[in-house]
Amino acid sequence: MTVHLTYGASRLLLSYRVLDLGGDAFELGVVIALGSLAPLVVVVPIGRLLDERHPTGPLLVGALIATAGMVAVAVAPSLGVVGVASMLLGLGQLLSMMASQSFVPKYADEARFDRHFGSLTLAASTGQTLGLPLVALLSHLSGGASSGAGSAVPALWTMAAISLLVLPSTGWLIAMRSRFGTPARADLPAATPIRELLGLRGMPAAMLSSMAVLASMDLLTGYLPLLGESRGWTVSTVSLLLSVRAFASMASRLVLNRILAVTPRDWLILSATGVSGLAMALMPWLSSVGATVGAMVVIGFFWGVGQPLTMTWVVAISPPRDRSAALSLRLAGNRVGQVAVPTALGVAAAHTGIGAVFLVSGLLLGGATATARRSLTRAAEDRSQA
């Protein structure tokens, strides 16, 4: 939770620092892209490392790198330094997140993967939900009426301090390491080549499903304010709608185990993109706040269910030796989609209007549903023939 709280808040504060240093929209986009894409160069090697090592070290190193990035943003004298700091933030968050995810396939019973991934994503949602209000409070306390570094710098220092709270967990993590251990490299089977992992039946569908949801999350956050402005909604109204979406995701993860007890998990995977895609496509035609609140509940609920289940899906179809590497590929696909899809639709929206963004996002989610359905149907047929 700490990782997601500080990272989400720091990304917002990063934008204010870019503007404070004289950056424009283009330079802000470059800085954000550096934080999202540059760490992808090392994502697969990190996954391989986590398959061979205990996750404790990478988790703590990631926290320290992210903290260094926050400090660098706070003291940056130029946009070039902010760009490097953004890369540090992205790398630190990526390393910590991958390490925390790798604990599940390494040390949890396979029958409980859904529960543990659900708890992991619940913590992430909680951190993201708490981070932005905390930034607003810190900005207010430090004189937020004046924009720029006057309010961003103290908040960045606070986020850096909070990120170090992961360090006291070292003792517990070391105890886990002593209890479970990590296989020696000589005892591990040969690693599966990345091309073969990508070619595993179900892997492309799982990655597309996850990517479509996360890209749509970014589109909803980025374009709902513009849609709201066209309807005369206030900033508070739009913030409330986004909060409803976040809380619905948290709620679905709280009850995920109970849902799985009465609902086939394949149906939940399909509904995560299918039902939410329908709600996203209808957004341009929902003119009232009440109807949009209902859509936010539906979208948030099914997105909350989908993410932990795609993690389990990726892990289940991967060789035990390569599960962290497989999760790293899923994460890499997510990052690429989060940059490429909003960028492409942003260009399209300039010519076709804001409503097209939500419609195309719904179609993307629908396409992911169709792909997942074919993959899950083939897997079921294979199981029945075995």
Instruction: Give the residue extent of every domain in the chain.
Output: 1-181, 192-386
**d(C-alpha 327, C-alpha 222), whole Å:** 26
**d(C-alpha 189, C-alpha 16), whole Å:** 48
- Would you say 197 and 203 are in contact if contact means Cβ atoms under 8 Å apart? yes
Calculate the dihedral angle through the C-alpha atoms of 221, 225, 226, 231, rounding to the nearest 10 degrees: 130
Q: For 192-386, give the CATH class.
A: mainly alpha
- The residue among 321, 103, 332 whose CA lies nearest residue 191 is 321
Per-residue confidence in pLDDT tens, the chain, 386 aa: 666 677 667 776 777 788 788 887 677 767 877 887 777 888 888 888 888 877 878 888 888 898 898 899 888 889 899 999 989 988 988 888 888 888 888 777 777 787 778 777 777 777 766 766 676 677 666 654 444 444 678 878 888 888 777 666 655 555 555 454 554 444 556 778 888 888 888 999 999 999 999 888 878 877 887 788 888 887 678 878 888 888 898 899 888 889 988 989 899 999 999 999 999 999 999 989 999 999 999 999 999 998 899 999 999 899 888 888 888 888 888 888 877 887 777 766 667 777 888 998 999 999 999 999 999 998 877 777 75
Q: Which residues are CB-neighbours of 304 under 8 A, at least 6 positions away?
A: 121, 125, 248, 249, 250, 251, 252, 253, 256
- Would you say 267 and 306 are in contact if contact means Cβ atoms under 8 Å apart? no
- Would you say 321 and 183 are in contact if contact means Cβ atoms under 8 Å apart? no
- Would you say 306 and 209 are in contact if contact means Cβ atoms under 8 Å apart? yes
Task: Please state which of the four CATH numbers 3.40.50.410, 1.20.1250.20, 1.25.40.10, 3.40.50.300 is assigned to the domain occupying 1-181.
Answer: 1.20.1250.20
Q: Note the pTM of the prediction, 2 decimals.
A: 0.78
**d(C-alpha 236, C-alpha 39), whole Å:** 34
